[in-house]
Structure 1
């Protein structure tokens, strides 16, 4: 697997092509904004019709990342389900897959704004969690907290490659905080030049674009790269 190794708060981390984060020293895999059941919620409330296999696709990606990293710990950074109680609306096959993935793994659900944590499922439920120099939560605090790792914003970035615009979900990080991309299929995203993100990140922040070969670029700020 092609991963991009980078340093954050003196820890060596790996950005995976899928948008997951791996911390080898802690055998820890971190994912954010799975939004499982997004198509089920849309169907229930008359929203946009999405492919019904999005949850299966997300769980398959997660299974592959667990296998490739051999992670023994998992942190889901909130909005794991697209709405409260949706875990009970998932097909039995998806619930079985999720339960199988959790077997033998120290699994932590961080509360999100879409869901308070799937309390019917196994694992530990936390508002935030500190591991060594890093603190994991769903939404970045306005006041910088050194070592903060969060999600919520679904960041994406655009650059020009051989005359074509390439847009991908991305990690954003500076010396203080790290924001993960959305891991779930069909989750959409917020451009890194959006004020909601430029207000959070320092002028020296960088972006790691996901995809088959993750690549690091200066974080696109108030205008797209050209």
Structure 2
């Protein structure tokens, strides 16, 4: 046995080195995947307070790194037609977002774990009406979709998230906004990112 090992020591050494290299490659791959996952930007969109048009729309950066909010978009589903508009900048004067430049815009850095109040749904629809020059009303909508676009990874990559809320009538006759998914769908695909970029620069 020992004679065979001695005679084939060169081949065995090569095999052991290859096996060790494979183990290190697998370890580094696991480390790289874990690192990317821990540093991935995740945006969450939620509502707080009321469940009607006065509900506050909250945007949370669930990632560990700071993300820069580039734009906020709303899609209003009227059934046969849809209206879309960027509602990043606020037009109201009596609904402060708080904090210096954010008194007039939702743009700006959002640290890991931080929450940004982008306004009530009613106010956001008014911004959309102002941008489109049309009379838009939540009472005529079937659903609304909010999309938040951010610059992540030291502003080297664009990503974001979106959530759709169906509009229903409550027992008291007021509008209720319900999402089929508690979580926010993330935007990471290249095609989706290009579409967002085109919308912002249009």
TM over 0.5: no
TM norm structure 2 = 0.21
TM norm structure 1 = 0.20
Question: 1 or 2, which has the higher helix percentage?
Answer: 2
Over alpha carbons, which structure has the higher Rg? 2
